[in-house]
């Protein structure tokens, strides 16, 4: 933190010197008042780095490490993030670079380029890495995973009680200037591979909103014109 504070001061001073170069009287000396935004943090110069306060604890418990989570791309730039991480911490975790969705492409191919660079930079700085989750409920490549099961049939046990057919939620709008007389003029079909046997009891539920009063009927067909329910 000592080095970083001094670096901030040097960077802040450089533009000021360049901007006023034409007005400097080199014969009478030159003074610049330290900006208040930097002066108020001068007390930080009296502190050591974060990990220096835990060196004794780390020696007593070798498994204990002070870590930080950061973006692998930011660390690779070897700028402020790189310097602060190496100076103050013993270990780091990549924000997203080591997660499934960041490595697996839409075609299932894997790209470990960012991860390998992250590991190489960490080794060079003598920093250890805590790997991220291998699998969790977020940040999966759904396009690839869904393609793996696209042609797989979901087995249905016709004898199982409480069988359910889940239909993708859809919103459909039926438009007509006049109320239709024939139901087949405004039909909405749902296809399913579920088995319907005589004596089974099924319940159909859906949310409907109509502009005008209307009645809605339901039918179940085994094939065209082969009614199981009407």
Give yes or no: residues 204 and 92 share one domain.
Answer: no
Q: What is the pLDDT along the chain (230 residues), one digit of tens a residue?
A: 454 444 444 444 444 444 444 444 555 567 778 788 888 888 888 888 888 888 777 777 778 889 999 999 999 999 999 999 999 999 999 999 999 999 999 999 999 999 999 999 999 999 999 998 878 888 889 889 889 988 877 666 656 655 555 655 555 555 555 566 666 676 777 777 777 777 777 777 777 777 777 777 888 887 777 877 77
| Side-chain-side CA neighbours of residue 202 (13 Å) | 18
pLDDT for 163 equals 55
CA–CA separation, 183 and 180 (whole Å): 7
Does residue 149 form part of some domain?
Answer: no
Q: How many domains does the chain have?
A: 2
CA–CA separation, 145 and 107 (whole Å): 10
CA–CA separation, 2 and 209 (whole Å): 67
Give yes or no: residues 107 and 49 share one domain.
Answer: yes
| Residue-wise pLDDT tens digits, 180-217 | 666 667 677 777 777 777 777 777 777 777 777 777 78
Cβ-count burial of 210 within 10 angstroms (0-12 exposed, 13-18 middle, 19+ buried)? exposed
pLDDT for 160 equals 61
71 with 95: CB under 8 angstroms? yes
pLDDT for 171 equals 55
Helices 2-19 & 80-88 angle (0-180, nearest 10): 150
Residue range(s) defining the domain that contains residue 70: 2-129
DSSP category for residue 33: P
Give yes or no: residues 115 and 181 share one domain.
Answer: no
Does residue 180 form part of some domain?
Answer: yes
Give yes or no: residues 165 and 113 share one domain.
Answer: no
pLDDT for 113 equals 96
Does residue 22 form part of some domain?
Answer: yes
Give yes or no: residues 159 and 125 share one domain.
Answer: no
Helix (H) or strand (E) holding 102: helix 100-103
Cβ-count burial of 81 within 10 angstroms (0-12 exposed, 13-18 middle, 19+ buried)? middle
| Residue-wise pLDDT tens digits, 109-129 | 999 999 999 999 999 999 999
CA–CA separation, 15 and 73 (whole Å): 28
Give yes or no: residues 170 and 205 share one domain.
Answer: yes
Does residue 140 form part of some domain?
Answer: no
Does residue 148 form part of some domain?
Answer: no
Structure tokens at 156: 């249905």
Give yes or no: residues 17 and 64 share one domain.
Answer: yes
């Amino acid at each position: 933190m000592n080095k970083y504070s001094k670096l901030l001061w040097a960077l802040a001073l450089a533009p000021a010197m360049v901007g006023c170069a034409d007005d400097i009287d080199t014969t009478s000396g030159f003074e610049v008042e330290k900006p208040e935004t930097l002066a108020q943090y001068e007390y930080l110069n009296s502190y050591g780095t974060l990990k220096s306060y835990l060196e004794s604890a780390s020696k007593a418990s070798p498994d204990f490490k002070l870590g930080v989570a950061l973006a692998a791309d930011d660390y690779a730039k070897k700028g402020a993030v790189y310097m602060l991480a190496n100076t103050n911490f013993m270990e780091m975790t990549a924000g997203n670079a080591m997660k499934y969705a960041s490595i697996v492409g839409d075609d299932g191919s894997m790209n470990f380029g960012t991860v390998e660079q992250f590991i190489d930079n960490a080794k060079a700085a003598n920093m250890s890495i805590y790997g991220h989750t291998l699998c969790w409920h977020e940040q999966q490549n759904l396009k690839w995973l869904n393609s793996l099961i696209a042609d797989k049939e979901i087995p249905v046990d016709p004898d199982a009680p409480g069988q359910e057919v889940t239909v993708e939620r859809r919103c459909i709008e039926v438009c007509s200037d006049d109320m239709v007389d024939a139901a087949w003029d405004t039909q909405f079909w749902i296809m399913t591979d579920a088995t319907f046997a005589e004596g089974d009891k099924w319940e159909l539920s859906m949310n409907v909103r109509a502009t005008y009063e209307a009645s809605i009927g339901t039918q179940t067909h085994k094939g065209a014109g082969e009614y199981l329910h009407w």
